[in-house]
Each structure stands twice: as C-alpha cells, then as structure tokens.
Chain A
Amino acid sequence: MNTVHVLLWVVYPYLAITILIGGLIWRYRYDKFGWTTRSTQLYETALLRWGSPLFHFGVLMVLIGHVVGLLIPKSWTEAVGITEHSYHFMAVFIGTVAGFCTLAGMVILIARRRFTGPVFAATTRNDKAMYVFLAAVIVLGLWNTVRGNITEGGYDYRADLSPWFRSLFYFSPDPELMTSVPIGFQLHVVAAFALFAFWPFTRLVHAFSAPIGYVTRPYVVYRSHGTGPRPSRPGWEGPPTLPTRSSSRSRR
C-alpha cells in the first residue's frame, strides 16, 4: 500500500463525498430558485420523448443494480441460495440491457441538445462539462460490464470492490482491496467520484428532488400566507367537523 493508493482510494472518495453533501446543502440554502430540471421540452418534444425516458429509466435500473452489487454483501445473497453463477448471469444481463438503454438515451439527448437550435442555445458551459463527466462514467461502466464480464469470462467485483466501497461507510477504509481491481473498474470508480463532487453544482441536483411524496400527497395543496389562526384543513379530509384549534392547524 503506497501513498497513491491511500490518496486514490481513501482521501479522494471522502473528499468527493464531502463536496457532494456539503455542496448539496450549500446549493439548497443558497440557490433553491436554481434547483430545477431546466427542462427543454418546450423547445423540442419528438426526440425527447424517446431519449429522456430511455436514459432515465435506464439509469434508474443501473442505480438499483449498483445498490444490489455494492451494498449487499456476497454472503447475504449466497445465504438465500443465489449462486455466484446465477447472480453473475443476472447482473450482467440486466446491467447490459440497462446500460445500453442509458447509453442510447444519452446519445439521443446529446445529439438533440447539439442539433436543435433553441436547445443548444440554452446549453451552458456547465452543462457541457457535466455531460463529459456523466458520459465518461456511463461509458466506462458499460465497457467494464461488456468487456470484463462477457469477453474475458467474468470478474467478481463483489470480492474486492464492493467490500472496499462498504468500508468507506464503516469509516474504516481499506485501500488494499482496490489494488487487485482491474484498471477499467478503477477508472470507472475514479470518474464516478469526480461526477459526485461535480453533482451539486450542475443541473443534476434535480435527482435529489425526485417527487416521491407525490404518490401519497393529497391532490390539492393549501398553504397560508400569514401567521394568523386561519384553519387550512382541505375539504376532502373526511367528514365535516367543527373546527378546533388543534386539528385545524395540523396541516400547513
């Protein structure tokens, strides 16, 4: 274990995660108004309708794959009877499909961005830099999945890479584990942490405001503009009752 290893697999990831978390907090406090998807659908719909769902659903599948592959220890899946071979087969198959969906979506979106006049005019330098990082991570990841696992007969990242990733969160990082990881995977990890550090300063922040709450929220939102004692219980909340101070202030 030398200094480079420590810098690359301990200092660098922690630095990136710190910037990610600190940056998100800072951006949220300072720039709520700029926290948006900055959608360009108003300018162009035909290409977006294919490219955007392809990319986003693809990348969500990829995310689930990463959660399973990185956070769930090998011993757990083996304990429930999933052999390494069947796990590997599923991971490669689903990962490849999801990866290609993501890549195809991204290619459509980037081409659309470049060749649709109003969309290109609305593209900032920040966006362009972000695309470079994002594309690097996705292409490297897909390359590893296809090349490392199909043509070269399989590499079990759950033996070294995943334990290293988890060790970051136990606060007992073990850079030793990363020394045996193939160079392609190492590059993917480095690019990914660079993207994480850049994340809070790009439009990608919209991923952290995915509207999960919408599924359970009542349709119409009421809000009071003042500090007065006005009740704000909406009409569809059960049978009418006489307003009481405690229940009427429950929903803001």
Chain B
Amino acid sequence: MRVMAQMAMVMNLDKCIGCHTCSVTCKQAWTNRSGVEYVWFNNVETRPGQGYPRTYENQQRWQGGWVRTRSGRLKPRSGGRLKRMFTVFANPKLPSMQDYYEPWTYDYEHLITAPSSDDIPVARPKSLLTGEDMKITWSANWDDSLAGGNEITAGDPVLAKVSEQVRQEYEKTFMFFLPRICEHCLNPSCAASCPSGAIYKRSEDGIVLVDQDRCRGWRMCITGCPYKKVYFNHRTGKAEKCTFCFPRIEIGQPTICSETCVGRLRYLGLLFYDSDRVAEAAATEAEQELYAAQRSVFLDPHDPDVVAAARAGGIPDDWIEAAQQSPIWDLIMKYEVALPLHPEYRTMPMVWYIPPLSPVVDVLRDTGHDGEEAGNLFGAIDALRIPVDYLAELFTAGDPAPVRAALGRLAAMRAYQRRSNLGETPDDAIPASVGMTADEMDDMYRLLAVAKYEQRYVIPAAHAEDAHRLEKIATECSLDYVGGPGMGGGGPYGQGPFGESSGTPVPIQVETFDAQRSRQRADSLTEAGDPAQRTNLIDAGGAGDRTGARPRKDPAGEGGDVTGPGVLDINRDQP
C-alpha cells in the first residue's frame, strides 16, 4: 500500500441551474488572454447535448483515454509510444477550431466612428483568428438549455448509446446541466500522451499541470484527454488546462469555480488512494466494473493502518485530519451518492457527480403526483428507465444499478426530510429502505443541503508552499516583479523578441505572494482611480491592492488607448 493524497471535487447536479457563473469567473481568472479566447477550463453543458468541443465523448472519433490491450495492460487509445512518435508531425485526431468554435469580437468602435448616415451603424462580428468579418454559427454554449432542439441533441454521443425509443422520449422530457472541469485523473492519459513529459501529476495533491517551459506544442495531450480538457493556446503554441486553481488551493482557498458557484453545489476535499493499485484497477476488464474498481483504490482515512502508511509516506498530520473530514470521502464512499464521469475511459477521473433527481421529480409533479412522497419517487426511478439509462451512460459505463441506488438515496432523503420539516413523525423505514440509518440520513442531508463554506471546502494548506516561494524568489531575478525593470514583463503579458509568446512569464508564485500579502494587510478597499496594471482575478477579494484587476493602460497611447491581456486587439500582428 502506498498512500497518496488527491484533491478532488464533487458536484451536486440537482443544484445546478446552468447560470455559467463558474465558467465566467474561471475565464476571467485564467483564460482571458489572446490565444485562449476559445478556451473554457470550466464549461457548463446542457444534457442532452453535444458538449464542448462538439461530440467530444465519441471516442471512436476522437480516440481519447486508454484501451485495455489483449495482454491486460493499458495503452492510450490513440496509440502507444512508437505510433505517437510517427504521428508527431501531424496529429491525425486533433479537433479543429471549428469543433470548439471560432472566437470573435464585435467592431464596437464602428458604432462611435461611423459617419452620419440614414442607416443605424452595426457592430459586426469579427473573427479573432483572422480579423475578417465572420458569420457566427457555433459557440461553447450554442445549445444551452436545449436550444436548437432535436437537430442538435441528436448529435449527442451519449444519447446515441441508449435505445431509439428512450432517445425520443428523452428529447421531449429531460434536461439537466453538467459543469465540467479537468478531472485531474489518477491515471491521466493526457500526461501519458505528452511526448515532452511536460504534463505531470503533482505527488502532493494530485493536481495535473502543464509545465509551460517544457511543453513543445506537440499537441498530443489534446487527443489523449477523453474529456477534451487540455487546450492549445494558438498564440503561444503551448497546451493549457484547468489548474484546479492551485495557487488558491495551496493557501487553503477553494477553486474560483467553487468559490463563485451560486448554487453552492461544489465540494472540495482530500481523498487518499493506494497508488500501487491504480494501474491494476484502471485495467479492470469489464467497463461496468470500473466504477467499483476505482472506489476500491480509495483508502479509508479513519483506518489506523492507512493513517500509519500515510505518515510513513510523509503526508503531514493536518492533511490526514483534512482527509478524515473530507466531504468527498463521505459523498463517494460513505453515502455512495457521487459517481465518476465516464469511468469507461479508464483515466480514473477525480471530479465526481451526484446524479440529478430533479428530472424524476419534475415528471411526477407534471403528471400531478406528489414528487416528494417516497413511494412515488422509488416507483418513478424504477419506471423511468429514460433518465436512469442516460445517467448510467454518463457515470457508470451503462450500468443502471449504481445510478438507481444513488437516486434512491436522494429520493429517500427528500421524502424523509419532508416529514421532519412538516413536523410529522420521522419514518425510519425510509432511510432503512436504502440501507441507511436515520442519523446517517440526517448527516447526508446536512452535507447536501445546509453545509457551510468550511464543510464544503476542506482544504489543507500546502506545507512546501512557503519553501517553494522562497526558493522561487531567491532564484528568479529580484527585479522580475510585475512592472519591474527586469524582464518579467515578457511571456503572455508582454512582447518578447520572438513574438508575444516569448520571454519569461511572471512566476505565478511571486505574483500570488505579492497580491495575497497586499490583500491581507490592506485596511481599505480599492479606489476607482487607482493606477491599473494587469488582469489578475485569481485571488481578488475586494480588499487590498487590486491594481491588477483591470487591463493595463498604455502610457504612450492618447485618449485612454487600452491594451493588455483581456483587451482584444484584432489588428495586432496583422501583416
């Protein structure tokens, strides 16, 4: 047994209202730069729907994830090492920009500068790739809330797996939202596909990151990831992906998407797992057993043997304590209501989902039944094959039993708690019918319905963090701070000698360190007239020196000419 810690997330899909706040705040923090206009580290998909990029779940086409070879070992579906070396010059399975969408802006200036005429001036859409006029035909969220109807949902690869009759019914009846970030897999196929070895899994907290200095732009990770959550920055020529907001996690703060989630549907916490068993579990032969196989890899942080092994492996005591209080362990292992997204890809994803009961409740309500009565709910879950089959294709490789069990617990909780709320005698038969005690049901209800910030986000701060920062500060040029006289202005925020992608980027540790310190020590909120520098919303909290929260003004430009990240200048670099 070799204990490793993984920072994991669970999302409660019943609470997602599809408001996209997580997507927007994530984009503001991480991908509001040129080259990643089309990139959403966090996106919210409507189900059924094609997803983003379109039909990414169709692995026959996109070749993401792992396959089990005849000898029982795993290899990336897109090919092993030699095949990858021979396809390195042109990746045969790379989604094109059109599979995501062509990013655009509008020619707003025309509204102001247009000469006087009889016609009202129009802000035309301009492609951010070419600067030419373009016709908008797709975006990251074009089919939001089933927009486009059956024409678009028919392209859903998950829907294609359920039967025709189920499909037609489904298209009429059900809809839910699926927020997605990088899964930070235990067995990441993006890392396995990277020829340069630039993608790595952090041994402390399991966060999967791209080393921007080692990435050489071979773009194999994009094919390797079955969730299509690694993106190619077409300006810098490097891969970028969700970072699990590691600068925040390291200081004990939740990710931006979790912090800003309106529905409070995200949970963050540690999970211990036995890394010696990952490869074996991921190579389980039957796809439908992968869900159970992945659960079998997780280690009980309350078990004294596990605690001893964790200590022996160098995991600090406060991390062990955090793992014991982890809401993730409770949701996945104790209450068994959270399920992994597409375990059949064999990457052992670590962002899990509580399947939505609301489609079932909606049907009951719409047909005049009591949607909170236990008998009705249980009957409906059994009778309504449609949502269960679809959810099973998403979460358990098509096995309806775990989905039905999870929905059963949610239904039981709903019925049981209604009785309590209405002052009726609690019916202990309801929790017993799903194999739980009344106390467990109460605890689960508290975790799902009323859990506060500290219960939803149990994040131990990183211990190496300070040492690492000091190391960074000591080894980097001390003049390299933002706006300093060093060369730290290069990278994605400045113009190096080899185009805007060259030069040394500002080390993120230095940046967060300064911003964090200033925020923590400040007495007042930011003034509107404060000088602006560059965009940094990763840890913006209203207080302190928020000079980075707005795009930088060009000191040479007359009339407030604004340049910098987040400000789109389609004329830049045009020949």
Q: Which A120-178 residues sit within 8 Å CB-CB of chain B? A: 120-124, 126
B219 touches A214 (CB 8 A): no
A48 touches B503 (CB 8 A): no
Task: List the one stretch of A92-100, A181-189, A216-224 in contact with chain B.
Answer: A216-224
Q: Please, which residues of chain B bring their CB within 8 A of the CB of A231?
A: 2, 203, 313-314
Q: How far is the CB of B123 from chain A (nearest CB, A)?
A: 21
Q: Which A193-252 residues sit within 8 Å CB-CB of chain B? A: 201, 206, 209, 211, 213-215, 217, 219-236, 240, 242-243, 248
Q: Which A26-59 residues sit within 8 Å CB-CB of chain B? A: 30-45, 48-49, 52-53, 55-57
B191 contacts chain A at the CB level, 8 A cutoff: yes
A32 touches B197 (CB 8 A): no
A73 contacts chain B at the CB level, 8 A cutoff: no
B58 contacts chain A at the CB level, 8 A cutoff: no
B554 contacts chain A at the CB level, 8 A cutoff: no
Q: How far is the CB of A45 from chain B (nearest CB, A)?
A: 6
A118 contacts chain B at the CB level, 8 A cutoff: yes
B503 touches A33 (CB 8 A): yes
A22 contacts chain B at the CB level, 8 A cutoff: no
Q: For the complex, what is the distance from the CA of A248 to the CA of B504, rounded to whole Å?
A: 32
A33 touches B491 (CB 8 A): yes
Q: Please, which residues of chain A bring their CB within 8 A of the CB of B211?
A: 223
Number of interface residues of B (CB under 8 A): 83
Q: For the complex, what is the distance from the CA of A233 to the CA of B533, rounded to whole Å?
A: 42
Task: List the one stretch of B271-279, B370-378, B426-434 in contact with chain A.
Answer: B271-279
- Interface class of chain A by DSSP: loop
In the complex formed, the residue of B with least CB distance to A241 is: B2
Given A215-B81, A240-B1, the answer on whether A48 and B90 have CB atoms closer than 8 Å is yes
Task: List the one stretch of B159-167, B229-237, B439-447, B534-542 in contact with chain A.
Answer: B229-237
In the complex formed, the residue of A with least CB distance to B199 is: A221
Q: For the complex, what is the distance from the CA of A250 to the CA of B505, rounded to whole Å?
A: 30
Q: Which of A45, A53, A230, A236 contacts B96 (CB 8 A)?
A: A45
B216 contacts chain A at the CB level, 8 A cutoff: yes
Number of interface residues of A (CB under 8 A): 61
B435 contacts chain A at the CB level, 8 A cutoff: no
Q: Which of A53, A118, A209, A219 contacts B130 (CB 8 A)?
A: A118
Q: For the complex, what is the distance from the CA of A123 to the CA of B505, rounded to whole Å?
A: 22
Q: Please, which residues of chain A bring their CB within 8 A of the CB of B504?
A: 30-33
Contact with A along B211-223 (1 / 0, CB 8 A): 1111111110000
Q: For the complex, what is the distance from the CA of A178 to the CA of B265, rounded to whole Å?
A: 75
Given A211-B196, A228-B314, the answer on whether A49 and B468 have CB atoms closer than 8 Å is no
Q: For the complex, what is the distance from the CA of A53 to the CA of B90, rounded to whole Å?
A: 7
A226 touches B462 (CB 8 A): yes
B148 contacts chain A at the CB level, 8 A cutoff: no
A220 touches B188 (CB 8 A): yes
Given A36-B237, A226-B468, A229-B314, the answer on whether A57 and B84 have CB atoms closer than 8 Å is no
A230 touches B575 (CB 8 A): no
B573 touches A124 (CB 8 A): yes
A34 touches B219 (CB 8 A): no
B114 contacts chain A at the CB level, 8 A cutoff: no
Q: Please, which residues of chain B bring their CB within 8 A of the CB of A123?
A: 575
Q: Which B76-99 residues sit within 8 Å CB-CB of chain A? A: 76, 81-82, 84-85, 88-92, 94, 96-97
Q: Please, which residues of chain A bring their CB within 8 A of the CB of B462?
A: 225-226
B383 contacts chain A at the CB level, 8 A cutoff: no
B129 touches A43 (CB 8 A): yes
B464 touches A227 (CB 8 A): yes
Contact with A along B344-375 (1 / 0, CB 8 A): 00000000000000000000000000000000
A209 touches B464 (CB 8 A): no
Q: Which B476-521 residues sit within 8 Å CB-CB of chain A? A: 487, 490-491, 496-499, 501-505
Q: For the complex, what is the distance from the CA of A166 to the CA of B87, rounded to whole Å?
A: 34
A41 touches B275 (CB 8 A): no
A31 touches B496 (CB 8 A): yes
Q: For the complex, what is the distance from the CA of A38 to the CA of B233, rounded to whole Å?
A: 9
Q: A34-B499, A211-B197, A225-B464 are in contact. List 6 more A-B contacts (CB 8 A).
A: A36-B215, A38-B237, A225-B462, A229-B314, A232-B203, A235-B277
Q: Return 28 A-B CB contacts under 8 Å, by A number.
A: A31-B504, A36-B216, A39-B217, A41-B91, A43-B129, A45-B94, A48-B90, A55-B89, A118-B97, A120-B575, A121-B574, A122-B235, A211-B85, A211-B88, A211-B197, A214-B194, A214-B197, A220-B187, A220-B201, A222-B200, A222-B202, A223-B202, A230-B313, A230-B464, A231-B2, A235-B277, A236-B279, A243-B2
